């Protein structure tokens, strides 16, 4: 899986969901850090406001609150590194 500063919100949650899988490895840079759950409320005049309502809890019990997800392999060439990894697997 490729991560970078554009990996945000649901992309970050997808990375966290796949993290326990030993067959999944992440490559690239730190994610955007939108690891919280927000609720949207519509005001009487139609304006909307987002309020952070929940924090994310990893499988190991660690709580994330707007923390960036760090890849397994930090690299500026994630596709090259991912291909190398795939080619060396048995």
> Which CATH number fits the domain that encloses residue 83?
3.90.226.10
Q: Which tokens in the block code for residue 40?
A: 């949207």
CA-wise closest residue to 25 among 76, 77, 74: 74
Separation between Cα atoms, residue 13 and residue 8, nearest integer Å: 8
Per-residue pLDDT reduced to its tens digit, 6-58? 999 999 999 999 999 999 999 999 999 999 989 999 999 999 999 999 999 88
**Strand ranges in the chain using DSSP code E only, listed in sequence order:** 2-3, 27-28, 36-42, 48-57, 63-64, 73-74
pTM for this one? 0.81
Number of structural domains (the chain) is 1
Instruction: Show the domain range for 41.
Output: 2-88
């Amino acid at each position: 899986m490729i991560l970078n500063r554009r990996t945000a919100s649901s992309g970050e949650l997808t990375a966290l969901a796949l993290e326990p899988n030993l067959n999944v490895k992440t490559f690239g840079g730190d994610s955007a850090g939108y690891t919280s759950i927000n609720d949207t409320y519509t005001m009487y005049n139609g304006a909307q406001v987002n309020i952070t309502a929940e924090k994310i809890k990893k499988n190991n019990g660690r709580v994330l609150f707007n923390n960036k997800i760090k890849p397994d392999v930090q690299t500026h060439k994630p596709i090259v590194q991912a291909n190398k990894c795939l080619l060396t697997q048995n």
